[in-house]
Amino acid sequence: MTRVIDLRSDTLTRPTEGMRAAMAAAEVGDDVYAEDPSVLALEEQVADLLGHEAGLFCATGSLANLIGVRLLVEPGKEVLCDARAHIARAELGAHGAVSGVTMRTWRSDDGVAGIDAIQEMLEPAAGPYLVSTAAVALENTHNFGGGTIQPLAHLQQAHELCRRVGVRLHLDGARLWNASVATGVSMGEFGRLFDTVSVCFSKGLGAPIGSMLVASKERIAEARVLRKRLGAGWRQAGVLAAAAAYAIDHQVDRLADDHVAAREFAYAVAERAPHAVQPDRVETNIVVLNTGDRPAADIAARALAAGVAVSALGASMVRAVTHLDVTLAESRTAGEVVGALLA
Ligand SMILES: *Cc1c(COP(=O)(O)O)cnc(C)c1O
């Protein structure tokens, strides 16, 4: 049987040999006691990288977002975000179910809302009858928006707006690495505009597990308590921190290859099915296809039968994500297969 070209997600990457060697060699200790040297080093490194004082290594991006938003929003207040934000759609209601935080959402074409749309929704001091806005959460790159980059100037505007009205700002930066590589804007330039930032090591970076939440020292001290309360304190997590550190050293620059591969995929689709995607709008490693009146699930099933795995993420939305376990040639082939199905 030929190998399936698996573009369902960049979380599918497996640790490389070099990464496994780094994990095996990691110095470890008990991280609940804050005594794991590999974890402590990673927390300091990534906090520095993002222009923040401190970091907390977490098992998942959902956990880092859950804690990050909770640090900024007390129970009974709200966080505003895009209708297709990961925190709104893909975290199983955690912010409401666990933190007692409510959400209101704005709509956008590709995950980047106009500043006016955000401004209109802000209600920082809503009084005794309405929910008060405590924070805004942005996502960069925007996953369900199609890997869209939130431009630095846009984020600066959001930052100024929120500062002015006394609302906090959280960044879901699961793929901030991709935004940074694609634009040349440093992680710190993006990171400094936010009160809390989460980044993932387990997406395009290729680590098996792990995300980092960064913020001020004070907030991270509180975050440690919240993490333990959620049952998510961990012990010799240094083996995982070593994988993340290896990924930062060796597997960030190559994200540019994933971006090229995503465009290849999109061009191959568009040659056959021009209505499905605008390839020149593909900015990073995610391609969202519009299947029109063909059910996305049906397209995904047919693609799989032809050796290409993609995700159906809505009635007429298919997502393909390039990553380090898929070559440029395979990405093009996959685009040809899916494009033929959509033609
Ligand atoms: C993957 C992802 C996360 C975190 O997901 P986990 O599976 O919980 O690690 C958060 N935000 C975005 C935008 C993501 O794509």
Q: Give me the tens of pLDDT residue by residue for the chain, a chain 343 residues long.
A: 578 999 999 999 999 999 999 999 999 999 999 999 999 999 999 999 999 999 999 999 999 999 999 999 999 999 999 999 999 999 999 999 999 999 999 999 888 988 999 999 999 999 999 999 999 999 999 999 999 999 999 999 999 999 999 999 999 999 999 999 999 999 999 999 999 999 999 999 999 999 999 999 999 999 999 999 999 999 999 999 999 999 999 999 999 999 999 999 999 999 999 999 999 999 999 999 999 999 999 999 999 999 999 999 989 999 999 999 999 999 999 999 999 999 9
CA 112 to ligand 1 centroid distance, Å: 18
CA distance 181 to 176: 9
- Specify the 3-state DSSP secondary structure of 198: strand
Residue 170 Cβ inside 6 Å of ligand 1? The answer reads no
Residue 316 Cβ inside 6 Å of ligand 1? The answer reads no
Is the pTM here over 0.95, yes or no? yes
**Nearest C-alpha to atom 8 of ligand 1 is from which residue?**
62
Residue 139 Cβ inside 6 Å of ligand 1? The answer reads yes
CA distance 283 to 259: 7
CA 316 to chain centroid, in Å, comes to: 22
Ramachandran angles phi, psi of 196, nearest 5°: -135, 145
Residue 86 Cβ inside 6 Å of ligand 1? The answer reads yes
**Nearest C-alpha to atom 10 of ligand 1 is from which residue?**
61
Instruction: Using most ligand atoms within 8 A of CB, pick from 9, 62, 79, 319 the residue to mutate for ligand 1.
Output: 62
CA distance 2 to 212: 37
Q: Which atom of ligand 1 is nearest to the CA of 211?
A: 9
Residue 311 Cβ inside 6 Å of ligand 1? The answer reads no
Q: Which atom of ligand 1 is nearest to the CA of 85?
A: 13
CA distances from 103 to 34, 60, 166, 223, 235 (A): 33, 21, 18, 21, 33
Q: Where are the beta strands (DSSP E) in 201-316?
A: 211-215, 286-290, 308-309, 311-312
